[in-house]
A and B are shown apart, each in its own frame.
Chain A
Amino acid sequence: MLVKFFFLLRKNGVPVSITELLTLLEALRAGLGDVSAERFYYLARTCLVKDERFYDRYDRAFAAHFKGVEDLFAVLARQLPDDWLAKLTVRDFTDAEKAEIEALGGWDKLMETLKKRLEEQKERHQGGSKWIGTAGTSPFGAHGFNPEGVRIGQEDGRNRSAVKVWDRREFANLDDKVELGTRNIKIALRRLRKFARQGAPDELALADTIDATARSGGWLDIKMQAERRNVIKILLLLDIGGSMDDHVKTCEELFSAARSEFKHLEHYYFHNFVYEALWKDNRRRFSEHIGTAEVIRTYGPDYKLIFVGDATMSPYEITHAGGSVEHWNPEPGSVWLQRLINQYPKFAWINPQPQSRWRQTASIDMTREMLEGRMYPLTLAGLDQLIDELT
């Protein structure tokens, strides 16, 4: 039973390994998960899922695999002694409600009906007015409107609803397919760090000192070294204006995150596509240009080149001289793009458009082809791929 579940998890993209499955089985043998389905759900999650990003996928797999789990509940409930159920009501009902129960034939009768229903009911149920399930008006189940309501399958805490935890899918927003906030971007970008010792030697190099001391026959010979610093260099070219207006917020976040993560970060703007000129300050874009050729000369090939743009435009803007929407360009954009990627062997393009829409836009396809497929969506998963490409 669990082997199937294991493979279902893997199919759903939860990275589980055999070790983890064995751990879960060990835990089950130790008697940790057999009290209720909910306990089992938590135990299995603790054992199998190692990142909150995968909680949602786990929830979905769990719901799909253990669809008949309510039968299990019924079995468990049938084995429950009457006094346990009785104890539950003392806690759950006010005096007025208890009086109402009496009016409807008393507690014993209610329990009698409950047991009968449990025996009759074979599948999961929602709504309706008879069966045990959720959101109904039957006296049994949860989320109901009957004052006689009896909650089933709960150990503690009546402020929690009896809706299955895995059906609630509360972790849906932790999946890594969603767009990111600054902090997430920073963390993603941090993987791009490369440390090296440069600058003034102001740290004691312990290993070197010991080595040098030993060599000089035991007399202290102190060696110093420079502090470790991040030496990665980034050249960021950002598309601005036009169709990019929809993505201003995400791009701002990406930019501010990159800004604080990298000391050697150079950025320039372009509009729709790269041509012979770029600019640093968008307010003075018409007066203060810098030639793209000059940028290529200024920053060496050890810079990593990252474009940010939606690459959504008319194909002529890429392929034809004079195709730019803003000015007369003597050479087509594709030539300039080629020059840039020739100079910087480590390059990538981040596209804030959802990946599903890429196929429908001809200019995105063309750009991707020119970039040898190195275009990534602006999501955490996309940034991860980008960083793999750049390191």
Chain B
Amino acid sequence: MTTEFRGTERYIATPELMAAVNAAVVLSRPLLIKGEPGTGKTLLANEIARALEKPFFEWHIKSTTKALQGLYEYDAVSRLRDSQLGDLRVKDIRNYILKGNLWEAFDCDTQPVLLIDEIDKADIEFPNDLLRELDRMEFYVYETRETVRAKHRPIIVITSNNEKELPDAFLRRCFFHYIRFPDAATMTQIVDVHFPDLKRELLHEALTTFFKIRETPGLKKKPTTSELLDWIKLLVTEDIPPEVLRSDDPKKLIPPLYGALLKNEQDVHLFEQLVFLNRRNAR
């Protein structure tokens, strides 16, 4: 078993990301990951678990998620129903305590990796409610009056899309890393990993087109890594030759299968206009 994270065969990690992950692993502090959507924030935890061969738990946060739900839930309604039906299970409150993802991770026999995905989606108070749990890796179950302690401090990866500011007290307990949008060289590596036998030429043309689109000023949503990968997948399945991407054909203003890259019609319009203007100026 390796102890140092260096990326995997499916996931290219930059040196700064490796440094952040390894610091979080060694000191077993939660690692907060931010970055543009589609830069592999969520994937990271999964890949850490794979690389270090550890069990993996995920907890996806929604706007209605409460911190307590990650620890446990007391299913009062079933207990009520059972009590009305005279079920004997009702005597023991333990039967109605449902373990949450955090509890599961604390209970794990080897050190697990826990992903808390999109923490910014939750209520503003949510991170504050998890302070003690993340710090001491323990929590108290009121219903049964017992304290649950982590058998091994899990490696916790938290992702955020910056929709809400996280409280300082919470940030202080985390390591932080911002995944920057990859440069052309890293992008080539990433695509290589996903499509090992892609033709050089096609890859080159696709990346050029991709970065050109990203640089278009005023786009509502810039295409990201995951969208590039989707697009290349489409190009490969449709068997599009690289020449098509080289935009010399005046009739084809925008790249084929652009739907994978540009996600709303204003952006498509804008891009068409810009390409059109460029052409006209070039003539």
Chain A residues in the interface with B (C-beta under 8 A): 15, 17, 19-20, 23, 26-27, 30, 32-33, 38-39, 42-43, 45-47, 49-52, 55, 155-157, 159-160, 165, 170-171, 174, 187, 190-191, 206, 210, 213, 218, 220
The digit string for B136-174, where 1 denotes a CB below 8 A from any CB of A, is 000000000000000000000000001111101001111
State the total of A-B contacts with C-beta under 8 angstroms. Answer: 80
Complex interface: stretch among B24-32, B110-118, B248-256: B24-32
- Jot down 7 A-B pairs with beta carbons below 8 A, ordered by A: A26-B27, A27-B27, A33-B19, A155-B15, A159-B185, A170-B180, A218-B84
Contact: A47 with B23, CB < 8 Å?
Answer: yes
Contact: B172 with A30, CB < 8 Å?
Answer: no
Contact: B20 with A27, CB < 8 Å?
Answer: no
CB distance from B26 to the nearest CB of A (A): 5
User: What chain B residues lie within 8 Å of A55 (beta carbons)?
Assistant: 178
Give 10 new A-B contacts, CB below 8 A, not counting A27-B26, A190-B164, A220-B80.
A17-B172, A20-B172, A27-B23, A32-B27, A42-B16, A47-B175, A52-B34, A156-B15, A157-B15, A206-B77
User: What chain B residues lie within 8 Å of A155 (beta carbons)?
Assistant: 15
- With contact pairs A19-B172, A20-B172, A220-B80 given, residues A46 and B164 touching in the complex (Cβ less than 8 Å): no
A165 vs B174: C-alpha distance when bound (angstroms):
23
- With contact pairs A42-B16, A47-B23, A155-B15 given, residues A187 and B171 touching in the complex (Cβ less than 8 Å): no
A47 vs B24: C-alpha distance when bound (angstroms):
9
Decide yes or no whether B103 CB sits under 8 A from chain A.
Answer: no
- With contact pairs A210-B76, A213-B80 given, residues A43 and B23 touching in the complex (Cβ less than 8 Å): yes
CB distance from A190 to the nearest CB of B (A): 7
Say which residue of A45, A50, A190, A206 sits within 8 Å of B163 (CB atoms).
A190
A159 vs B183: C-alpha distance when bound (angstroms):
10
Contact: A49 with B176, CB < 8 Å?
Answer: yes
The digit string for B37-77, where 1 denotes a CB below 8 A from any CB of A, is 00000000000000000000000000000000000000011
Contact: A32 with B174, CB < 8 Å?
Answer: no
A19 vs B174: C-alpha distance when bound (angstroms):
11
A191 vs B34: C-alpha distance when bound (angstroms):
20
Say which residue of B34, B84, B176, B180 sits within 8 Å of A46 (CB atoms).
B176
Contact: B34 with A210, CB < 8 Å?
Answer: no
CB distance from A215 to the nearest CB of B (A): 13
CB distance from B43 to the nearest CB of A (A): 19
CB distance from A298 to the nearest CB of B (A): 32
Chain B interface bracket (under 10, 10 to 19, 20 to 34, 35 or more): 20 to 34
Chain B residues in the interface with A (C-beta under 8 A): 15-16, 19-20, 22-24, 26-27, 29, 31-32, 34, 76-77, 80, 83-84, 162-166, 168, 171-178, 180, 185
Contact: B27 with A220, CB < 8 Å?
Answer: no
| CB nearest to A159 among chain B residues | B185
- With contact pairs A46-B19, A49-B176, A190-B164 given, residues A30 and B76 touching in the complex (Cβ less than 8 Å): no
- With contact pairs A47-B175, A50-B174, A155-B15 given, residues A32 and B22 touching in the complex (Cβ less than 8 Å): yes
Contact: A32 with B171, CB < 8 Å?
Answer: no
A89 vs B22: C-alpha distance when bound (angstroms):
28
| CB nearest to B165 among chain A residues | A191
Contact: A50 with B77, CB < 8 Å?
Answer: no
Contact: A220 with B84, CB < 8 Å?
Answer: yes
State the 5 A-B residue pairs at the shortest beta-carbon distance, nearest first: A50-B171, A52-B178, A42-B19, A46-B20, A159-B185
Contact: B83 with A218, CB < 8 Å?
Answer: yes
A157 vs B24: C-alpha distance when bound (angstroms):
23
CB distance from A9 to the nearest CB of B (A): 14
A39 vs B22: C-alpha distance when bound (angstroms):
11
User: What chain A residues lie within 8 Å of B29 (beta carbons)?
Assistant: 23
Contact: B26 with A30, CB < 8 Å?
Answer: yes
A17 vs B171: C-alpha distance when bound (angstroms):
11
Contact: A187 with B23, CB < 8 Å?
Answer: no
CB distance from B193 to the nearest CB of A (A): 15
A93 vs B46: C-alpha distance when bound (angstroms):
37
A160 vs B178: C-alpha distance when bound (angstroms):
19
CB distance from A192 to the nearest CB of B (A): 12
Contact: A46 with B163, CB < 8 Å?
Answer: no
User: What chain A residues lie within 8 Å of B175 (beta carbons)?
Assistant: 23, 46-47
CB distance from B18 to the nearest CB of A (A): 9
